[in-house]
Amino acid sequence: MNKLQTLIRTLLLLIVALSLPASAQQAGNGNPPLIIVEQGTHKLMRANAEVQRVAVGNPATADVSLVNRRDLLLAGKSIGITSLIVWIKGESQPRQYLVRVQLPVDPLKSQKPVDPELSQAIVDPGRGLEGQLPNLLAHRRAAIAASGGQKEAPIADASSVALESQVLTSVKIAEVSRKTLQRYGVNLMVNNGTAGTTSGILGSPGSYSSFDFKDGPGSAGIKGTLSRSLTDAFGLLITDSSSKITALIDLLEGRGLVRTLAEPSLLATSGQTASYLAGGEFPVPVTQGGTSGSGITVQYKEFGVRLSLTPTVLARDRIALKVAPEVSDLDFSAGIQISGVSVPALTVRRTDTSIELGDGETFVISGLISSNLTSNVNKVPWLGDLPVLGAFFKSTTLDRSDKELIMIVTPHLVRPLARDAKLPKLPGDQYSGKTPSFGHNVFLERGDFDSGFSR
């Protein structure tokens, strides 16, 4: 009889232990049983005896309510873990449980394939992220999964990204500018003095601004002055002795070519901003006003080749790059005068953009094709419109400029050279030991110094 009573008592204790809750899992390591409930859902739990009181650790994570004396209704509110304590009538110690609220699973949605890049990461939705990830794109997906789809949700991120973080960015800036100039002008004058010999004069641009006419050979009296219409052109003076007519023709045709090539390269760590300037600074006087008078201070403005970039390595084949190259030159033709000091202007070519490309890939980040044409005609009314003869009563100017500009960027993932590795030759190393003798400088030096520059 005693053996039968002992068996019945053991079975009753086992039933009581397994009755609340039916879905609890043993957490192990001495922790209370674990109850899993999905966010936004309810779970019904039934006790084998009368429930006297319940308590939950964080009502914002999960909430519990009594339906009747034996039934409990557990509701999942937000992702997280909290505790649940249930007091049963007739038991000296309350029952303790861990409640885990996780993301709901849609039964109608097909199961997503396992992301192979997250195989070595531990993604705990609502809590944190651990392990190693191959790139930042995988880290971004893992972080979204760990935050439960909420980008601003705070999580404990103890993961690491195994990826090179040094980026060498090469920028090529090429500019070609072509200019065509044509100028033509004619001035006529009848000399009121004694006719001289027939003569002609050809003057270079800027050599003189006018011509003076005397009363015959050897005479000191000036009978007239003929001013040039275009002082920066070639001047052709023709004097006819029989008609006493003097003609001054200004002619100028010019063509120019300017080519600018800059190839700055800059090394930066992923996520950090680096800047580069190869050029100089020019002083700008600034007038300072005050009660006691005015003074002049000097401020320096930068010019040259400037490069500012911020690379972000997303993966081995994807680099996000914010790049801002700039090339500026001094332009004295467009300068101004400040307190008697000539201050030049700046001719600037710049761009600022953000792109994504792979290791070694190239993008044309900006380009410009510009064409300007200026034509001007100054003439005497009516006379300048006469056919053939009208050319002697007018001056024309044609100015055309064409410009092409292109900027190209290429990033590379790089690693530092190993310790004690042989460094590449630096520019100008071939001249470091150049100490020629007097005889070499006088008889053998040919000035071949172009071998140290790339073409």
Q: Please give the pLDDT value at position 361.
A: 92
Helix runs in 301-404, H state only: none
Task: Determine how many CB atoms are found less than 10 A away from the CB of residue 9.
Answer: 10
Give pLDDT tens digits for 226-244.
666 677 777 777 777 666 6
140 Rama class: left (phi>0) / alpha (psi -120 to 50) / beta: alpha
Smallest CA-to-CA distance from 155 within 133, 132, 131, 124 is with 124
Low-confidence ranges of the chain (pLDDT < 70): 1-30, 106, 108-114, 119-120, 124-127, 148-154, 158, 160, 162-164, 188-229, 241-244, 289-294, 339, 451-455
Q: Dihedrals φ, ψ of 261, to 5°?
A: -135, 125
Q: Please give the pLDDT value at position 8.
A: 56
Burial 201-240 (b: 16+ CB within 10 A, else e): eebeeeeeeebebbbeeeeeeeeeebebbbeebbbebebe
Q: Please give the pLDDT value at position 18.
A: 41
Rounded distance between C-alpha atoms, residue 121 and residue 134, angstroms: 10
Q: Token pair of 353, please?
A: 């953009």
176, 403 Cβ separation under 8 angstroms: yes
Q: Please give the pLDDT value at position 273.
A: 92
Rounded distance between C-alpha atoms, residue 453 and residue 442, angstroms: 25
- Residue 209: C-alpha distances to residues 56, 212, 376, 380 (Å): 102, 10, 21, 21
Rounded distance between C-alpha atoms, residue 150 and residue 127, angstroms: 12
Task: Determine how many CB atoms are found less than 10 A away from the CB of residue 35.
Answer: 22
- Residue 367: C-alpha distances to residues 42, 246, 334 (Å): 61, 52, 24
Q: Please give the pLDDT value at position 415.
A: 83
Q: Dihedrals φ, ψ of 187, to 5°?
A: -125, 140
The strand order across the sheet containing 95-102 reads 34-38, 95-102, 80-88, 51-56
Rounded distance between C-alpha atoms, residue 259 and residue 92, angstroms: 94
Please report the domains of the chain, with CATH numbers, ordered by start residue: 30-102 (2.60.40.1080), 125-162 (no CATH)
Identify the bridge partners of residue 63 per DSSP, sorted by sequence position.
75
What is the residue type of 139?
H
- For the chain, count helices (H), then strands (E): 3, 24
The alpha carbon of residue 224 and the mean position of all alpha carbons in its chain are separated, in whole angstroms, by: 64
